[in-house]
Structure 1
């Protein structure tokens, strides 16, 4: 059995690649990643010499390259994690998100159809559903109502996946997850950014009033869910993956500060970003009842494990905080908030 995992050097992708390489030694896992700013092969140093693992560098939006790769490798399954994924970046430069998230998905779907893969699985996000009020949950039947260029590009990709199933009969699944956290998370995202800034006694930038709500899912629980959908998910179906751990952003920040023994005076409220969705919350009943999934972590155990990982892997995140990231961070939050 040969699997193509795109974006396998990123946060969720690398955790999934490690999970699959270790769980299924009789599978061959091919990791395709362009190694842009958030792709990091250091994430996979512990498995790089495993006999069932192979890395290929390339762009999913390069149609000729993708078709050549599929012809050579003859994949059984394709799992597309590759995406530009940061909302702030999508506001600054939406075109990159259309190129990778839509054109790249189209190239993969065409190749999957042409070479007859057994299943194509698209890893998506709850952000395609838009925003919620104080009550209610996103289900698989919730209409798509993307509010940022990032989520719009992911919604467009999801619709292409649906179309290739309906029109061409390509076996597909889509998973839509809530906010992930855990080891190897690139430090532009909320939890790793706050941990690293707190460790360095830097100000912690919090958008608006800090009361935006997200449902937090540990990345290891997400990997298990994708594994189940890949092997047992009904063809053509969408499966929501949520941790059932709703927290406001300010609560997350205060939890991190408390666990690290740092003062709340480090919190700095900054101007809210445009189109900032107020609340996301996932109903994962379908995944639980149909496929028997249940998360291993609640938020208290998960955030403690995550903070300890960053404390024990300082060299990893110090190496990631490069000059390019510094310039991006300054453009978003100002010089005084930069991670050093």
Structure 2
């Protein structure tokens, strides 16, 4: 595979690149062009384990630069599109960057892939579905995003489907649940809470803490994407779930215990605007068509993640001093 990976210096994109370049993980040899604009959440250090790999080439580029992206996609048979503005709170404060990157950037990716005959995996999110009180969303469920972030991802999702239906572009879409693992930028709940606790600070818990999410280890997510590349059907959508649903309060209690802290370290804060109450994806289609099953036990995976942040403060401490833009 000659793959171009956008958002390749981010949390999930970098894990996917490391997986592709590890023969023990995938069993095949690939070449990868890693593309990232290196905004606040993009970090070249996320690719340090494969920095000297002969199959890796890094390009600092913005997916919104259509002409540059067109030149980069040439010669690749596969594009895996992770690049996105992804933090809900930031999208509430200002949606413009989310629309430009997640919608127009996706259009640039799709146009370049169409011109050069590359297949595309568009990495989406369960947040495009909105909120569900009971049960789980199948892939056919209508998209009802509530945050500006989710709406921008849903727009890219629909563009990807339109390029398949209109142009016959080979596009596969994955919609994942909440990811966790090492190298996650410390604005998301698990790394934020862990790094706060390690520094002796409180953790900000929204509302009553009863918002529920399904948790998916980044390694399982990236395996699911790879399975969609190998066995997925063009034009199809595949949910990728982790199988561990927790309220934010339950998750907080686990993180407090893992960091040797008590409930007095919880600071309840005003709830986020439009905060979705519950997410849950039905990933039976991915099991049936792709052979996907999550392998990472959540208890062990969370312990490993906390340990990684505890042992790698030299990675995350500089990020806390880094300007957001």
TM-score, normalized by length of structure 1? 0.93
- The answer to whether residue 86 in structure 2 is matched with residue 50 in structure 1 is no
Question: What is the aligned partner in structure 1 of residue 164 from structure 2?
Answer: 165
- CA distance in 2: counterparts of 1:173 and 1:160, whole angstroms: 12
Partners of 1:129 and 1:142 within 8 A in 2: yes
Corresponding position of 1:35: 38
Q: Distance in 1 between matches of 2:61 and 2:321?
A: 22
What is aligned with 2:242?
243
Shift of 1:323: 4.0
Match of 2:282 in 1: 283
The offset of 1:115, in angstroms, is 1.0
In the TM superposition, what is the alpha-carbon distance from 1:116 to its structure 2 partner?
1.0
Structure 1 spans left out of the alignment, 5+ residues: 329-340
Equivalence for 2:79: 78
**Which residue of structure 2 aligns with residue 331 of structure 1?**
none
CA distance in 2, matches of 1:30, 1:207: 39
Q: CA deviation at 1:290?
A: 1.4
1:52-105 Cα deviation digits (max 9, x unpaired): 11110000011111112223xx11000000000000000111010000000000
Distance 1:296 1:311 in 2: 24
Q: Distance in 2 between matches of 1:51 and 1:317?
A: 27
Corresponding residue number in structure 2 for 1:115: 116
Instruction: Give aligned pairs, total.
Output: 322
Distance 2:289 2:110 in 1: 26
Counterpart of 2:256 in structure 1 is: 257
CA RMSD of aligned residues (A): 1.1
Partner residue in 2 for 1:103:
104
| Cα deviation 1:265-312 (Å, max 9, x = unaligned) | 010000011110000011110111111111111221111111111111
Q: Distance in 2 between matches of 1:264 and 1:146?
A: 33
Q: Is 1:139 aligned to residue 138 of structure 2?
A: yes
Distance 1:145 1:27 in 2: 37
CA deviation map 1:137-163 (0-9, x unaligned): 011011100000000000000000000
Match of 1:59 among 26, 44, 62: 62
CA drift of 1:44 comes to 1.1
The answer to whether the 8 A contact 1:243-1:298 is kept is: no
Contact 1:244 1:282 in 2 (8 A): no
Q: Which runs of 4+ in 1 moved over 2 A?
A: 23-26
* Deviations 1:229-261 (CA, angstroms, capped at 9, x unpaired): 011101111000000100000111110111111
